[in-house]
A and B are shown apart, each in its own frame.
Chain A
Amino acid sequence: MKKTKIIFICFLVLAIIQIAVPLSMIVRREMTLKNGKQYKFKTAPVDPYDAFRGRYVALNLEEGIVQVNRTGEYHRGEKVYAVLKEDEDGFAKIIDLIHEKPESGDYIKTRIRYNTQSGIHLDLPFDRYYMNEEDAPVTEALYLKFTRGDRRDAFITIRVKCGFAVLEELYIQNKPIGQFLEEEKKRQRVSK
């Protein structure tokens, strides 16, 4: 009798933890989306697949590779703080990578993926945008159709608060991806 009671209490504790973990993931992200500062990152979406989480577009971020002077200071897997600033076009720019937490300004806590001659490759916490299994390949195809040479018409917005970043929206041709896809589908229906 005593044993079953202990098991029951342990199960209740486990149930609370099992709910608390996903709930804490939600709350932290909602708070950042609500109160964080918005930044825009240029990107190129490509369409891959995840067995558990479904279809997504992988984000090939321009700012994923950073050029800094002191390349010898950074090692693979190391934790760093990427200091953010907006450039004249309104896009985010990583202006420095530092080992100590900055006291002011916006920054993203991240890791060094590789340190190569082309620059320092960062493991930025927004490498994918999940989409419907029908929309993901369409997005990639449309992005390729509308992108010519160096002109990159896609960007994402993120929200940053205290080093924590959450992806907010993917834009193609300055339109949120949902709106862009709807308009494209309508346009295709009319032209048919």
Chain B
Amino acid sequence: MKSGYESNRRSIRVKNKYIRWLYEELPKLIDKGVLSSESAEKIRKYYGEVPERSGRKIALIVFSILGTILISGGIILLLAHNWKDLSRFTRTILSLLPLLIGHGLGIWFLSTGRTSVAWREGISTFLTFAVCSAISLISQTYHIPGDMGAFLLTWMLLSIPLVYLFNASLPCIIYFVGITFWAGYEQEVGGQALLFWPLLGLTIPHIYSAVKKNAYSGRSSLMGWTLSLCLCVATGITLEKAVPGLWIIVYSALFSVMYLVGSYWFGQTHSVFQQPYQGVGASGVVILSLLLTYEFPWDDIGWGYYRSGFCYHPYAAWADYLLVLILFAAAVYLLVISFRRKEKRRILFGIMPVIALFGYTLSAFSNQEIVPRLLFNLYMFSMGLGALVLGIRTLDMGTVNGGMIILAILILARFFDVELTFVERGLGFILVGAGFLVTNIILVKKAKKGGG
């Protein structure tokens, strides 16, 4: 099933192909006297400029980006070798040289009013790495202590304006990864990484403008994948974890929000690459649900196990509560919309935080993990089965396969679950299998009745 968006793009591609052919023919037609040069000019004026073949354009952008990354990486590696025979003055010049070259290219690009994406992405990426190599070589020359946090933060803050000045997305992608690493380092050395959120906030105008222009373009999708994956990592890092188990609600809400945001605002395509938020959100919901069918996430959670000590900052713990509130409220808001519109698939993935909150409250107050675990087994089963039925009804093989994968994961997990006895597992499997067969028989009978 092709969406309107895709068929529209296809028709534009075909139209451009014929216009390009016509333009190639025009000189021959003028030569043979079929067409006057004035008429040919009129034709050109009428159809206007044909955009370059998209494949060629993409190749140009990709090669410029790859070339820049390789050259910049090469410069960093060459400088990292530590050329002991070079004087401090030569090293100073060398450390600033890539920056100066990048600035020269930037001035040339901006002053000539060029708009090429390849140059834009290439120069800004080169400058991003040039900042890194300059700080690195100076650190090496003067034996500056290995404070990776300060190094990453300086690098990222000096690079982020490039995203806006060049309207470039690759430096933005590098920035996502950079601030995630920074957050990881800060938390690792006993600090806290709450600054991650304002730092991430600096990229919102760029993401918004890219998505507004085209939510399915290569840059929007690539940024979407990096952002959603970095969010998965950084959310866990920035959590202070003073109240054990809050991550269950935070992550279930995060994945549900990602899935619902993706399906509401990025759902007009069938390409998996163009659906980063749905992809990461749905995978997150499934993987987290599977984890929550085990005992360990439910052990010793809730207020009764509040953690304190030099590693825990009470003010950062408040950020955890705020994050829970914001993410949960967003998830519930989107879920209510799904309920109102009776969108079953969205309800299936969006309801997870509600179940997680129920399970968490139960486990925190009654210290028992059986009910939450059973709930998540049931949830995963309904999710798989629901997707399967929905896929069969709408003849969408992707959804059918998705449902099958969810069920297969759950079945495999329970088959090898050593916490249950062989008899329990055997009986459970037979009961579920019988349920499938009975449902099948009922469906066939209903179909026959309906048909005859």
Contacts and interface: CB of A to CB of B under 8 A. Distances in A.
A77 B149 CA distance: 14
Contact of B82 (A8, A51, A54): A54
A62 B127 CA distance: 41
Given A7-B110, A11-B106, A166-B142, A26 B99 contact: no
Interface in B255-279: none
Contact of B165 (A7, A26, A30, A50): A7
Interface in B119-136: 127, 131-132, 134-136
A77 B311 CA distance: 11
Contact of B142 (A17, A127, A167): A167
A153 to B, nearest CB: 20
A132 B141 CA distance: 11
B205 interface: no
A68 to B, nearest CB: 19
B139 A14 contact: no
Nearest to B127: A18
B452 interface: no
Interface in B434-451: none
Nearest to A58: B146
B45 interface: no
Interface string A64-94: 0000000000001100000000000000000
Nearest to B110: A8
Contacts of B113: 4
A51 B195 CA distance: 24
Of A11, A30, A125, A167, chain B has the most CB atoms within 10 Å of the CB of A11
A53 interface: yes
Interface string A5-36: 00110111011011101110110011000000
B165 to A, nearest CB: 5
Given A4-B113, A11-B165, A18-B158, A53 B140 contact: yes
B165 A133 contact: no
Contacts of A126: 143, 145
A55 B110 contact: no
A128 B110 contact: no
Contact of A22 (B79, B95, B107, B140): B95
A22 B96 contact: yes
A18 B310 contact: no
A126 B96 CA distance: 23
B82 A21 contact: no
Contacts of B106: 11, 15
A12 B154 CA distance: 19
B135 A135 contact: no
A22 B133 CA distance: 10
A29 B190 CA distance: 28
Interface string A92-136: 000000000000000000000000000000011111111111010
A21 B106 CA distance: 19
A180 B127 CA distance: 39
Contacts of B141: 130
A53 B143 CA distance: 10
A15 B103 contact: yes
A133 B79 CA distance: 11
A127 B146 contact: yes
Contacts of A21: 135, 154, 158
Most buried by B among A30, A130, A131, A167: A130
Interface string A43-68: 00000001111111000000000000
Contact of B146 (A50, A135, A166, A178): A50
A55 B79 CA distance: 11
A52 B136 contact: yes
B76 interface: yes
A9 to B, nearest CB: 10
A25 B142 contact: yes
Given A4-B110, A77-B191, A54 B158 contact: no
Contacts of B158: 17-18, 21
A22 B135 contact: yes
B332 interface: no
A14 B310 CA distance: 39
B161 interface: yes
A108 to B, nearest CB: 12
A167 to B, nearest CB: 4
B310 A55 contact: no
B259 to A, nearest CB: 34
A129 B144 CA distance: 8
B138 interface: yes
B138 A178 contact: no
A137 to B, nearest CB: 13
B84 A131 contact: yes
B111 interface: yes
A30 B92 CA distance: 11
B80 interface: yes
Contacts of A50: 80, 146
Contacts of A17: 158
19 contacts: A4-B110, A7-B110, A10-B165, A11-B165, A15-B106, A18-B103, A19-B96, A19-B99, A50-B80, A52-B132, A52-B136, A53-B139, A54-B140, A76-B190, A127-B145, A130-B141, A132-B81, A135-B84, A166-B143
Given A22-B138, A55-B82, 10 more contacts: A14-B161, A17-B158, A18-B131, A19-B96, A19-B100, A26-B138, A53-B139, A54-B136, A124-B145, A132-B81
